[in-house]
Structure 1
Amino acid sequence: MQYDELIGEVQHRAQLDSREAALSTTRATLETLSERIQPGEAENLAGQLPEELGRHLENVDDVERFDLETFVERVAERESLGGDDYEDVAYRSRVVMEVLDEAVTGSVMTELKSQLPDEYDDLFALQETEATAGPDSE
């Protein structure tokens, strides 16, 4: 998947107002992910992404252990969108992971998921109702 297509998919699926917002969410999610997974896995994922995005996975050498809530909080701190609640940030991160899952081939995402505790499963699977309705619908 090319850069423009990937960012466009994140923007569309997360129902964001701009490509800049989609890039901010994608960048923040990737940078936070790079702090949580082994550098080798980060490099494997980065190698299948457009260079503009893959570089956000290459900045960290030390793996930290933190829970999903901390993951989402770190994404929120990095995003330039501001003022969003936990559920909105978590939803956008799920969208990024869903698009990444479609963009990469082989076992990269399976290996990445295997490094994370079970509580991270929510990050990798959008429920059908969320995918069609978005974070603010009820």
Structure 2
Amino acid sequence: MDHDTFVGQVQARARLSSRGAAETATRATLETLAERVPAPLADHLAAQLPMEIGEHLRRVAAAPDQPVTGIRMSRPEFFDRVSQRSGAEYPKAVHEARCVVEVVGEATQGALTDKVRKSMDDDLAGVLFAGSTGNT
């Protein structure tokens, strides 16, 4: 899947008014995901996404001021971070993040998406991956 297709899918599924809004939702979700999952997993996931999309995962995983990845965070904390990054209200941020993760699942190998899901507690994974219909 190329960058334009990825962003277009996020825009359509999240019912966003612009490609810029879809880019923002994608960046916010993937930067937060990169904080949550172990750095090697974020890097592997980034390698399977379009370069511009994968950079959102790599940037956080490799940031010198971000000494820890794989941070345990509750479901509300995860979506609060997405909301803060995107500027979307909490319920909208949840919806947008789920749409981004759904597109990520379709753009990557199913086994990798399963590893991402398994790296999270059940409460967060249950909400974030609800409705994912990709290769998982």
TM-score (norm 2): 0.86
Letter in 1 for 2:2: Q
Letter in 2 for 1:33: L
* Equivalent in 73, 86, 89 of residue 80 of structure 2: 73
* Equivalent in 65, 70, 88 of residue 92 of structure 2: 88
- Counterpart in the other structure of 1:99: 103
* Percent identity of equivalent pairs: 40
- Counterpart in the other structure of 1:124: 129
Which aligned runs of 4 or more in structure 1 are off by greater than 6 angstroms?
Answer: none
Q: How many angstroms apart in 2 are the aligned matches of 1:91 and 1:104?
A: 20
Where does the alignment leave 5 or more consecutive residues of structure 1 unmatched? 128-138
Task: Indicate the SS of the match to 2:30.
Answer: helix
Letter in 2 for 1:98: E
Whether 1:111 and 2:118 are equivalent positions in the alignment is no
Q: Given the superposition, is the C-alpha separation of residues 106 and 124 from structure 1 closer, same or farther in structure 2, using an over 3 Å criterion?
A: closer
Letter in 2 for 1:48: Q
Where does the alignment leave 5 or more consecutive residues of structure 2 unmatched? 62-66
Q: How many angstroms apart in 2 are the aligned matches of 1:126 and 1:25?
A: 18
- Counterpart in the other structure of 1:134: none
Q: Please report the RMSD computed on the Cα atoms of aligned residues, expressed in angstroms.
A: 1.6
Shift of 1:110: 0.5
- Counterpart in the other structure of 1:135: none
Letter in 1 for 2:82: V
Q: Counterparts in 2 of 1:39-78, with a 5 A limit?
A: 39-58=39-58, 59-60=60-61, 62-63=68-69, 64-78=71-85
Q: How many angstroms apart in 2 are the aligned matches of 1:76 and 1:31?
A: 12
Q: How many angstroms apart in 2 are the aligned matches of 1:95 and 1:106?
A: 16
- Counterpart in the other structure of 1:38: 38
TM-score (norm 1): 0.85
Letter in 2 for 1:125: A
- Counterpart in the other structure of 1:130: none
CA deviation string 1:85-126 (max 9, x = no partner): 321110110000011111101411001111100012210113
CA deviation string 1:52-109 (max 9, x = no partner): 0111111235121111111111111111xx3x43211101100000111111014110
